[in-house]
Structure 1
Amino acid sequence: MSFSGKVAIVTGASSGIGAATAVKLAEAGANVVLVARNAEKLKNVSEKCNSFGDKHHVVKADVSVDADARRIIDETIKKFFKIDVLVNNAGIMRLAPVKGDEALAVYDEIMKINLRAVINLTRLASAHLIASRGSIVNISSVAGTKVINGMSAYCASKAALNHFSRGAALELAEHGVRVNVISPGPVATDIIENAGLKTEDINLEGVSIPLSRISSPEEVADLVMFLASDKAVGITGSNYVLDNGMALS
Protein backbone atom coordinates (compact mmCIF):
# COMPACT_ATOMS: atom_id res chain seq x y z
CA MET A 1 0.00 0.00 0.00
CA SER A 2 1.31 3.40 -0.95
CA PHE A 3 0.78 6.48 1.18
CA SER A 4 2.91 8.70 -1.03
CA GLY A 5 1.93 12.33 -0.54
CA LYS A 6 -0.33 11.53 2.41
CA VAL A 7 0.06 13.20 5.80
CA ALA A 8 -0.53 11.06 8.88
CA ILE A 9 -0.54 11.94 12.58
CA VAL A 10 0.28 9.09 14.95
CA THR A 11 -0.11 9.67 18.68
CA GLY A 12 1.72 7.52 21.17
CA ALA A 13 4.36 7.11 18.48
CA SER A 14 7.32 6.61 20.81
CA SER A 15 6.86 2.87 21.30
CA GLY A 16 4.72 -0.19 20.67
CA ILE A 17 1.84 0.03 18.21
CA GLY A 18 2.34 3.74 17.58
CA ALA A 19 6.03 3.37 16.76
CA ALA A 20 5.40 0.39 14.46
CA THR A 21 2.61 2.28 12.69
CA ALA A 22 4.73 5.41 12.22
CA VAL A 23 7.62 3.44 10.73
CA LYS A 24 5.35 1.50 8.37
CA LEU A 25 3.65 4.69 7.20
CA ALA A 26 7.04 6.30 6.58
CA GLU A 27 8.14 3.24 4.63
CA ALA A 28 4.96 3.52 2.53
CA GLY A 29 5.83 7.11 1.61
CA ALA A 30 3.72 9.10 4.06
CA ASN A 31 4.70 12.33 5.74
CA VAL A 32 4.35 11.23 9.35
CA VAL A 33 3.88 13.39 12.43
CA LEU A 34 5.25 11.51 15.44
CA VAL A 35 3.53 12.54 18.69
CA ALA A 36 4.46 11.39 22.20
CA ARG A 37 5.69 12.62 25.58
CA ASN A 38 9.00 10.75 25.75
CA ALA A 39 11.60 12.70 23.75
CA GLU A 40 14.28 10.00 23.91
CA LYS A 41 11.99 7.26 22.63
CA LEU A 42 10.65 9.60 19.94
CA LYS A 43 14.22 10.17 18.79
CA ASN A 44 14.71 6.43 18.32
CA VAL A 45 11.56 6.12 16.22
CA SER A 46 12.52 9.21 14.24
CA GLU A 47 15.84 7.60 13.33
CA LYS A 48 14.02 4.53 12.04
CA CYS A 49 11.74 6.72 9.93
CA ASN A 50 14.82 8.45 8.51
CA SER A 51 15.67 5.19 6.79
CA PHE A 52 12.85 5.94 4.37
CA GLY A 53 13.62 9.62 3.82
CA ASP A 54 13.33 12.70 5.99
CA LYS A 55 9.60 13.17 5.56
CA HIS A 56 8.46 13.16 9.14
CA HIS A 57 8.02 15.67 11.93
CA VAL A 58 8.38 15.12 15.67
CA VAL A 59 6.03 16.79 18.15
CA LYS A 60 6.78 16.25 21.82
CA ALA A 61 3.36 16.71 23.36
CA ASP A 62 0.86 15.41 25.87
CA VAL A 63 -2.39 14.71 24.02
CA SER A 64 -4.39 15.24 27.22
CA VAL A 65 -3.26 18.89 27.43
CA ASP A 66 -5.50 21.11 25.31
CA ALA A 67 -2.73 23.50 24.28
CA ASP A 68 -0.56 20.58 23.20
CA ALA A 69 -3.39 19.04 21.20
CA ARG A 70 -3.89 22.32 19.37
CA ARG A 71 -0.15 22.55 18.74
CA ILE A 72 -0.08 19.06 17.21
CA ILE A 73 -2.62 20.10 14.59
CA ASP A 74 -1.10 23.55 14.02
CA GLU A 75 2.43 22.18 13.53
CA THR A 76 1.16 19.52 11.14
CA ILE A 77 -0.60 22.07 8.96
CA LYS A 78 2.35 24.46 9.09
CA LYS A 79 4.76 21.69 8.05
CA PHE A 80 2.68 19.64 5.61
CA PHE A 81 -0.39 21.83 4.84
CA LYS A 82 -2.99 19.05 5.30
CA ILE A 83 -4.03 15.96 7.27
CA ASP A 84 -5.08 12.71 5.60
CA VAL A 85 -4.85 10.22 8.45
CA LEU A 86 -5.24 10.51 12.22
CA VAL A 87 -4.19 7.51 14.29
CA ASN A 88 -5.32 7.96 17.89
CA ASN A 89 -3.08 5.41 19.56
CA ALA A 90 -1.91 7.15 22.75
CA GLY A 91 -3.36 5.54 25.84
CA ILE A 92 -2.58 4.45 29.37
CA MET A 93 -3.41 1.44 31.52
CA ARG A 94 -3.85 1.69 35.27
CA LEU A 95 -5.14 -0.57 38.02
CA ALA A 96 -8.11 1.05 39.74
CA PRO A 97 -10.02 -1.29 42.08
CA VAL A 98 -13.41 0.26 42.77
CA LYS A 99 -12.88 -0.23 46.53
CA GLY A 100 -9.60 1.67 46.45
CA ASP A 101 -9.12 5.21 47.71
CA GLU A 102 -7.56 6.27 44.39
CA ALA A 103 -10.29 4.83 42.16
CA LEU A 104 -11.75 8.21 41.15
CA ALA A 105 -8.39 9.89 40.56
CA VAL A 106 -7.24 6.99 38.40
CA TYR A 107 -10.54 7.01 36.51
CA ASP A 108 -10.11 10.72 35.74
CA GLU A 109 -6.52 10.19 34.56
CA ILE A 110 -7.47 7.30 32.27
CA MET A 111 -10.49 9.04 30.78
CA LYS A 112 -8.51 12.22 30.14
CA ILE A 113 -6.00 10.38 27.94
CA ASN A 114 -7.90 7.38 26.57
CA LEU A 115 -11.13 9.19 25.69
CA ARG A 116 -11.14 12.97 26.09
CA ALA A 117 -7.89 13.44 24.15
CA VAL A 118 -9.27 11.39 21.26
CA ILE A 119 -12.44 13.45 21.17
CA ASN A 120 -10.43 16.67 21.25
CA LEU A 121 -7.98 15.68 18.51
CA THR A 122 -10.83 14.43 16.35
CA ARG A 123 -12.56 17.77 16.81
CA LEU A 124 -9.44 19.77 16.01
CA ALA A 125 -8.52 17.67 12.97
CA SER A 126 -12.01 17.27 11.56
CA ALA A 127 -12.00 20.27 9.19
CA HIS A 128 -8.68 19.18 7.70
CA LEU A 129 -9.82 15.56 7.37
CA ILE A 130 -13.02 16.71 5.67
CA ALA A 131 -10.94 18.72 3.19
CA SER A 132 -8.85 15.65 2.34
CA ARG A 133 -11.68 13.10 2.72
CA GLY A 134 -9.34 11.37 5.11
CA SER A 135 -9.67 8.70 7.75
CA ILE A 136 -9.30 8.10 11.48
CA VAL A 137 -8.13 4.90 13.14
CA ASN A 138 -8.62 4.65 16.90
CA ILE A 139 -6.75 2.03 18.91
CA SER A 140 -9.04 0.50 21.50
CA SER A 141 -8.82 -2.90 23.21
CA VAL A 142 -10.77 -6.10 23.76
CA ALA A 143 -11.12 -4.62 27.25
CA GLY A 144 -13.83 -2.46 25.70
CA THR A 145 -16.08 -5.52 25.64
CA LYS A 146 -14.36 -7.92 28.07
CA VAL A 147 -14.05 -6.91 31.72
CA ILE A 148 -10.68 -7.42 33.42
CA ASN A 149 -10.61 -7.67 37.20
CA GLY A 150 -9.29 -4.51 38.85
CA MET A 151 -9.30 -2.56 35.59
CA SER A 152 -12.90 -1.40 35.31
CA ALA A 153 -11.86 2.22 34.61
CA TYR A 154 -9.58 1.15 31.75
CA CYS A 155 -12.28 -1.13 30.35
CA ALA A 156 -14.84 1.68 30.59
CA SER A 157 -12.54 4.07 28.73
CA LYS A 158 -12.19 1.65 25.82
CA ALA A 159 -15.92 0.88 25.72
CA ALA A 160 -16.59 4.62 25.57
CA LEU A 161 -13.95 5.05 22.85
CA ASN A 162 -15.69 2.38 20.77
CA HIS A 163 -19.04 4.10 21.06
CA PHE A 164 -17.62 7.57 20.40
CA SER A 165 -15.92 6.21 17.28
CA ARG A 166 -19.21 4.90 15.92
CA GLY A 167 -20.84 8.26 16.56
CA ALA A 168 -17.99 10.11 14.87
CA ALA A 169 -18.15 7.70 11.92
CA LEU A 170 -21.84 8.44 11.45
CA GLU A 171 -21.39 12.19 11.76
CA LEU A 172 -18.40 12.43 9.41
CA ALA A 173 -19.62 9.96 6.79
CA GLU A 174 -21.47 12.64 4.84
CA HIS A 175 -18.09 14.34 4.32
CA GLY A 176 -16.38 11.17 3.10
CA VAL A 177 -14.33 10.79 6.30
CA ARG A 178 -14.06 7.24 7.65
CA VAL A 179 -13.61 6.35 11.33
CA ASN A 180 -12.68 2.84 12.43
CA VAL A 181 -11.46 1.07 15.55
CA ILE A 182 -8.94 -1.68 16.19
CA SER A 183 -9.32 -3.69 19.38
CA PRO A 184 -6.16 -5.67 20.11
CA GLY A 185 -5.82 -8.30 22.78
CA PRO A 186 -2.41 -8.71 24.45
CA VAL A 187 0.34 -7.10 22.36
CA ALA A 188 4.07 -7.22 23.05
CA THR A 189 4.48 -3.55 24.00
CA ASP A 190 5.66 -1.64 27.06
CA ILE A 191 2.20 -0.41 28.12
CA ILE A 192 2.27 -2.55 31.27
CA GLU A 193 5.78 -1.35 32.12
CA ASN A 194 4.73 2.25 31.48
CA ALA A 195 1.89 1.76 33.94
CA GLY A 196 4.40 0.85 36.62
CA LEU A 197 3.03 -2.69 36.69
CA LYS A 198 4.33 -6.19 36.21
CA THR A 199 2.64 -8.82 34.07
CA GLU A 200 1.61 -10.72 37.19
CA ASP A 201 -0.25 -7.61 38.44
CA ILE A 202 -2.85 -8.07 35.69
CA ASN A 203 -5.44 -10.61 36.81
CA LEU A 204 -6.41 -12.61 33.73
CA GLU A 205 -7.96 -15.45 35.69
CA GLY A 206 -10.41 -17.33 33.49
CA VAL A 207 -9.07 -15.71 30.31
CA SER A 208 -7.61 -17.88 27.61
CA ILE A 209 -6.05 -17.12 24.24
CA PRO A 210 -7.12 -19.84 21.80
CA LEU A 211 -4.26 -19.22 19.36
CA SER A 212 -1.76 -19.44 22.24
CA ARG A 213 0.18 -16.38 21.18
CA ILE A 214 0.27 -12.63 21.61
CA SER A 215 0.47 -10.16 18.76
CA SER A 216 3.38 -7.98 17.73
CA PRO A 217 2.96 -4.23 17.31
CA GLU A 218 3.67 -4.70 13.61
CA GLU A 219 0.57 -6.90 13.21
CA VAL A 220 -1.62 -4.13 14.58
CA ALA A 221 0.21 -1.58 12.43
CA ASP A 222 -0.56 -3.64 9.32
CA LEU A 223 -4.26 -3.42 10.14
CA VAL A 224 -3.98 0.32 10.76
CA MET A 225 -2.40 0.67 7.33
CA PHE A 226 -5.24 -1.23 5.67
CA LEU A 227 -7.99 0.74 7.39
CA ALA A 228 -6.30 4.06 6.64
CA SER A 229 -5.79 3.17 2.98
CA ASP A 230 -8.04 3.46 -0.05
CA LYS A 231 -8.41 -0.33 0.03
CA ALA A 232 -10.83 0.19 2.94
CA VAL A 233 -12.81 2.91 1.16
CA GLY A 234 -16.14 1.28 2.07
CA ILE A 235 -15.34 0.58 5.72
CA THR A 236 -16.41 2.95 8.46
CA GLY A 237 -17.81 2.59 11.96
CA SER A 238 -16.23 -0.86 12.25
CA ASN A 239 -14.32 -2.43 15.12
CA TYR A 240 -11.64 -4.90 14.05
CA VAL A 241 -10.68 -7.34 16.80
CA LEU A 242 -7.09 -8.57 16.71
CA ASP A 243 -6.81 -10.70 19.84
CA ASN A 244 -5.78 -14.23 18.84
CA GLY A 245 -9.23 -15.40 19.85
CA MET A 246 -9.19 -13.96 23.38
CA ALA A 247 -12.72 -12.58 23.08
CA LEU A 248 -14.01 -16.09 22.36
CA SER A 249 -13.07 -17.38 25.80
Structure 2
Amino acid sequence: MSFTGKVVIITGASSGIGASAAELFSKEGAHVVIVGRNQDLLAASAAQCNSPLVVRADITIESEAQRVVDETIKKFGQIDVLVNNAGGIPLTIGLLEDGVMQAFDDVMNLNLRSVVHLTTLAAPHLIKTKGNIVNVSAMAGVTPPFRPGVTSYCVAKAGLNHFTVCAAVELGSYGVRVNAISPGPVRTNFKQNAKFTDTYEDTAKFTILKRVSEPEEIANLILFLASSRAKGVTGVNWYSDNGFAIQH
Protein backbone atom coordinates (compact mmCIF):
# COMPACT_ATOMS: atom_id res chain seq x y z
CA MET A 1 0.00 0.00 0.00
CA SER A 2 2.40 2.68 -1.17
CA PHE A 3 1.54 6.26 -0.29
CA THR A 4 4.67 7.72 -1.86
CA GLY A 5 4.16 11.41 -2.53
CA LYS A 6 0.80 11.50 -0.76
CA VAL A 7 0.09 14.07 1.95
CA VAL A 8 -1.80 12.75 4.97
CA ILE A 9 -3.19 14.84 7.83
CA ILE A 10 -3.79 12.89 11.04
CA THR A 11 -5.44 14.51 14.04
CA GLY A 12 -4.97 13.10 17.50
CA ALA A 13 -1.60 11.87 16.25
CA SER A 14 0.34 12.34 19.47
CA SER A 15 -0.44 8.87 20.82
CA GLY A 16 -2.46 5.69 20.39
CA ILE A 17 -4.18 5.02 17.08
CA GLY A 18 -3.16 8.36 15.58
CA ALA A 19 0.53 7.89 16.36
CA SER A 20 0.45 4.35 14.97
CA ALA A 21 -1.25 5.54 11.80
CA ALA A 22 1.31 8.32 11.36
CA GLU A 23 4.15 5.85 11.68
CA LEU A 24 2.62 3.40 9.19
CA PHE A 25 1.77 6.08 6.62
CA SER A 26 5.32 7.41 6.92
CA LYS A 27 6.78 3.94 6.37
CA GLU A 28 4.68 3.70 3.21
CA GLY A 29 6.22 6.89 1.86
CA ALA A 30 3.62 9.49 2.79
CA HIS A 31 4.30 13.03 3.92
CA VAL A 32 2.53 13.00 7.26
CA VAL A 33 1.10 15.97 9.11
CA ILE A 34 0.73 15.04 12.76
CA VAL A 35 -1.68 17.16 14.76
CA GLY A 36 -2.17 17.17 18.53
CA ARG A 37 -2.15 19.27 21.67
CA ASN A 38 0.59 17.70 23.80
CA GLN A 39 4.01 18.89 22.69
CA ASP A 40 5.98 16.10 24.37
CA LEU A 41 3.77 13.35 22.97
CA LEU A 42 3.85 14.95 19.52
CA ALA A 43 7.64 14.94 19.63
CA ALA A 44 7.67 11.24 20.52
CA SER A 45 5.28 10.48 17.67
CA ALA A 46 7.30 12.60 15.23
CA ALA A 47 10.44 10.66 16.11
CA GLN A 48 8.84 7.54 14.58
CA CYS A 49 8.11 9.29 11.27
CA ASN A 50 10.22 10.50 8.37
CA SER A 51 10.38 14.32 8.36
CA PRO A 52 6.78 14.93 9.44
CA LEU A 53 5.11 18.31 9.64
CA VAL A 54 4.22 18.72 13.30
CA VAL A 55 1.31 21.05 14.04
CA ARG A 56 0.48 21.65 17.65
CA ALA A 57 -3.15 22.70 17.56
CA ASP A 58 -6.48 22.39 19.31
CA ILE A 59 -8.80 21.62 16.42
CA THR A 60 -11.88 22.52 18.46
CA ILE A 61 -10.77 26.13 17.94
CA GLU A 62 -11.71 27.19 14.41
CA SER A 63 -8.65 29.33 13.77
CA GLU A 64 -6.33 26.49 14.80
CA ALA A 65 -8.12 24.01 12.54
CA GLN A 66 -7.66 26.50 9.71
CA ARG A 67 -3.97 26.73 10.58
CA VAL A 68 -3.59 22.96 10.21
CA VAL A 69 -4.79 23.15 6.62
CA ASP A 70 -2.89 26.34 5.84
CA GLU A 71 0.43 24.98 7.12
CA THR A 72 -0.08 21.73 5.23
CA ILE A 73 -0.72 23.52 1.95
CA LYS A 74 2.16 25.93 2.54
CA LYS A 75 4.62 23.06 3.03
CA PHE A 76 3.30 20.36 0.68
CA GLY A 77 0.88 22.09 -1.69
CA GLN A 78 -1.79 19.40 -1.47
CA ILE A 79 -3.86 17.12 0.76
CA ASP A 80 -4.55 13.51 -0.24
CA VAL A 81 -5.90 11.94 2.95
CA LEU A 82 -7.56 13.38 6.05
CA VAL A 83 -7.71 11.11 9.09
CA ASN A 84 -10.10 12.57 11.66
CA ASN A 85 -8.87 10.64 14.68
CA ALA A 86 -8.95 13.17 17.53
CA GLY A 87 -11.60 12.36 20.10
CA GLY A 88 -12.29 11.29 23.63
CA ILE A 89 -14.30 12.04 26.75
CA PRO A 90 -13.08 15.22 28.45
CA LEU A 91 -15.49 14.67 31.33
CA THR A 92 -18.05 12.02 32.27
CA ILE A 93 -21.23 13.62 33.60
CA GLY A 94 -24.66 12.04 33.87
CA LEU A 95 -27.86 13.63 32.59
CA LEU A 96 -29.01 14.54 36.12
CA GLU A 97 -25.73 16.13 37.24
CA ASP A 98 -24.71 19.76 37.30
CA GLY A 99 -22.67 20.86 34.31
CA VAL A 100 -24.15 18.34 31.91
CA MET A 101 -24.69 20.83 29.09
CA GLN A 102 -21.15 22.19 29.24
CA ALA A 103 -19.84 18.63 29.20
CA PHE A 104 -22.12 17.86 26.25
CA ASP A 105 -20.81 20.85 24.31
CA ASP A 106 -17.18 19.93 25.04
CA VAL A 107 -17.67 16.33 23.92
CA MET A 108 -19.57 17.32 20.78
CA ASN A 109 -16.98 19.95 19.87
CA LEU A 110 -14.14 17.47 20.11
CA ASN A 111 -15.75 14.38 18.59
CA LEU A 112 -18.10 15.83 15.98
CA ARG A 113 -18.04 19.57 15.35
CA SER A 114 -14.28 19.70 14.84
CA VAL A 115 -14.53 16.82 12.37
CA VAL A 116 -17.22 18.59 10.37
CA HIS A 117 -15.21 21.81 10.36
CA LEU A 118 -11.89 20.25 9.37
CA THR A 119 -13.66 18.27 6.66
CA THR A 120 -15.09 21.44 5.14
CA LEU A 121 -11.63 23.06 5.23
CA ALA A 122 -9.85 20.10 3.65
CA ALA A 123 -12.54 19.12 1.12
CA PRO A 124 -11.58 21.62 -1.63
CA HIS A 125 -8.01 20.30 -1.55
CA LEU A 126 -9.15 16.66 -1.46
CA ILE A 127 -11.30 17.29 -4.53
CA LYS A 128 -8.19 18.42 -6.42
CA THR A 129 -6.32 15.20 -5.59
CA LYS A 130 -9.35 12.86 -5.65
CA GLY A 131 -8.38 12.05 -2.09
CA ASN A 132 -10.31 10.54 0.76
CA ILE A 133 -11.28 10.85 4.42
CA VAL A 134 -11.18 8.28 7.23
CA ASN A 135 -13.10 9.14 10.39
CA VAL A 136 -12.21 7.22 13.54
CA SER A 137 -15.47 6.66 15.38
CA ALA A 138 -16.20 4.07 18.09
CA MET A 139 -18.55 1.23 18.90
CA ALA A 140 -20.09 3.66 21.38
CA GLY A 141 -21.89 5.15 18.39
CA VAL A 142 -23.77 1.94 17.58
CA THR A 143 -24.23 0.20 20.94
CA PRO A 144 -25.90 1.21 24.22
CA PRO A 145 -23.76 3.26 26.64
CA PHE A 146 -21.04 1.14 28.19
CA ARG A 147 -21.25 2.99 31.52
CA PRO A 148 -23.15 5.90 33.11
CA GLY A 149 -22.01 9.39 32.18
CA VAL A 150 -20.99 8.72 28.57
CA THR A 151 -24.25 9.62 26.83
CA SER A 152 -22.70 12.69 25.19
CA TYR A 153 -19.84 10.62 23.80
CA CYS A 154 -22.19 7.98 22.41
CA VAL A 155 -24.37 10.62 20.76
CA ALA A 156 -21.33 12.36 19.28
CA LYS A 157 -20.00 9.14 17.77
CA ALA A 158 -23.43 8.25 16.40
CA GLY A 159 -23.50 11.68 14.81
CA LEU A 160 -20.03 11.12 13.37
CA ASN A 161 -21.19 7.86 11.80
CA HIS A 162 -24.08 9.57 10.03
CA PHE A 163 -21.93 12.54 9.06
CA THR A 164 -19.62 10.05 7.37
CA VAL A 165 -22.49 8.81 5.21
CA CYS A 166 -23.68 12.36 4.47
CA ALA A 167 -20.20 13.52 3.51
CA ALA A 168 -19.71 10.43 1.33
CA VAL A 169 -22.88 11.31 -0.57
CA GLU A 170 -22.01 14.98 -0.92
CA LEU A 171 -18.35 14.54 -1.90
CA GLY A 172 -18.70 11.36 -3.94
CA SER A 173 -19.58 13.17 -7.15
CA TYR A 174 -16.19 14.90 -6.88
CA GLY A 175 -14.35 11.60 -6.56
CA VAL A 176 -13.71 11.90 -2.81
CA ARG A 177 -14.38 8.83 -0.66
CA VAL A 178 -15.39 9.10 3.02
CA ASN A 179 -15.36 6.16 5.42
CA ALA A 180 -15.35 5.48 9.15
CA ILE A 181 -13.84 2.89 11.44
CA SER A 182 -15.50 1.97 14.73
CA PRO A 183 -13.00 0.30 17.04
CA GLY A 184 -14.05 -1.58 20.11
CA PRO A 185 -11.65 -1.49 23.06
CA VAL A 186 -8.12 -0.52 22.01
CA ARG A 187 -5.12 -0.39 24.33
CA THR A 188 -4.44 3.36 24.37
CA ASN A 189 -4.48 6.15 26.95
CA PHE A 190 -8.26 6.58 26.44
CA LYS A 191 -9.22 5.17 29.84
CA GLN A 192 -6.56 7.21 31.59
CA ASN A 193 -7.65 10.44 29.91
CA ALA A 194 -11.30 9.73 30.75
CA LYS A 195 -10.32 8.85 34.33
CA PHE A 196 -11.86 5.38 34.14
CA THR A 197 -10.72 3.05 36.92
CA ASP A 198 -11.27 -0.31 35.21
CA THR A 199 -8.56 -2.03 33.17
CA TYR A 200 -8.45 -3.19 29.57
CA GLU A 201 -8.39 -6.75 30.89
CA ASP A 202 -11.77 -6.01 32.47
CA THR A 203 -13.06 -4.70 29.13
CA ALA A 204 -11.82 -7.75 27.22
CA LYS A 205 -14.38 -9.88 29.05
CA PHE A 206 -17.15 -8.08 27.17
CA THR A 207 -15.91 -9.14 23.73
CA ILE A 208 -16.49 -12.42 21.93
CA LEU A 209 -12.77 -12.88 21.33
CA LYS A 210 -11.87 -11.95 24.92
CA ARG A 211 -9.20 -9.53 23.80
CA VAL A 212 -8.41 -5.85 23.35
CA SER A 213 -6.97 -4.53 20.11
CA GLU A 214 -3.62 -2.82 19.77
CA PRO A 215 -3.42 0.60 18.05
CA GLU A 216 -1.55 -0.90 15.08
CA GLU A 217 -4.59 -3.02 14.19
CA ILE A 218 -6.77 0.04 13.71
CA ALA A 219 -3.97 1.92 11.98
CA ASN A 220 -3.71 -0.87 9.41
CA LEU A 221 -7.42 -0.54 8.67
CA ILE A 222 -7.02 3.22 8.25
CA LEU A 223 -4.28 2.66 5.70
CA PHE A 224 -6.37 0.10 3.83
CA LEU A 225 -9.41 2.39 3.58
CA ALA A 226 -7.21 5.30 2.51
CA SER A 227 -5.46 3.23 -0.17
CA SER A 228 -6.33 2.41 -3.78
CA ARG A 229 -7.17 -1.11 -2.61
CA ALA A 230 -10.39 0.35 -1.21
CA LYS A 231 -11.16 2.54 -4.24
CA GLY A 232 -14.71 1.20 -4.40
CA VAL A 233 -15.44 1.68 -0.70
CA THR A 234 -17.24 4.79 0.52
CA GLY A 235 -19.88 5.60 3.13
CA VAL A 236 -18.89 2.54 5.16
CA ASN A 237 -18.52 2.21 8.93
CA TRP A 238 -16.01 -0.60 9.45
CA TYR A 239 -16.18 -2.42 12.78
CA SER A 240 -13.01 -3.71 14.44
CA ASP A 241 -14.33 -4.62 17.86
CA ASN A 242 -13.32 -8.21 18.71
CA GLY A 243 -17.01 -9.09 18.64
CA PHE A 244 -18.06 -6.40 21.13
CA ALA A 245 -21.21 -5.55 19.15
CA ILE A 246 -22.53 -9.10 18.83
CA GLN A 247 -21.87 -9.75 22.51
CA HIS A 248 -24.38 -7.01 23.45
TM-score range, shorter chain: over 0.9
- Partner of 1:77 in structure 2? 73
Percentage identity across paired residues of the two chains: 48
- Secondary structure at the aligned position of 2:222 is classed as helix
Matches within 5 A, 1:30-179: 30-49=30-49, 53-54=50-51, 56-93=52-89, 94-148=91-145, 149-150=147-148, 151-179=150-178
1:193 aligns with 2:189: no
Q: Distance in 1 between matches of 2:246 and 2:40?
A: 39
- Partner of 2:246 in structure 1? 248
Q: Distance in 2 between matches of 1:96 and 1:129?
A: 37
Query: 1:230: Cα distance to partner?
Result: 0.5
The residue identity in structure 1 corresponding to 2:227 is S
The residue identity in structure 2 corresponding to 1:231 is R
Q: Distance in 2 between matches of 1:3 and 1:167?
A: 26
Q: Distance in 2 between matches of 1:199 and 1:230?
A: 39
Query: 1:16: Cα distance to partner?
Result: 0.3
Q: Distance in 2 between matches of 1:29 and 1:109?
A: 35
Q: Distance in 1 between matches of 2:198 and 2:28?
A: 34
Query: 1:197: Cα distance to partner?
Result: 3.0
1:232 aligns with 2:230: yes
Q: Distance in 2 between matches of 1:95 and 1:113?
A: 14
Q: Distance in 1 between matches of 2:238 and 2:88?
A: 20
The residue identity in structure 1 corresponding to 2:69 is I
Unmatched runs of 5 consecutive residues or more in structure 2: none
Scaled by the length of structure 1, the TM-score of the pair is 0.94
The residue identity in structure 2 corresponding to 1:23 is E
- Partner of 1:11 in structure 2? 11
The residue identity in structure 1 corresponding to 2:62 is D
Query: 1:24: Cα distance to partner?
Result: 0.3
RMSD of equivalent CA atoms: 1.5
**CA deviation vs aligned residue, 1:208-237 (integer Å, no higher than 9, x gap):** 200010100000000000000000000000
Q: Distance in 2 between matches of 1:78 and 1:190?
A: 32
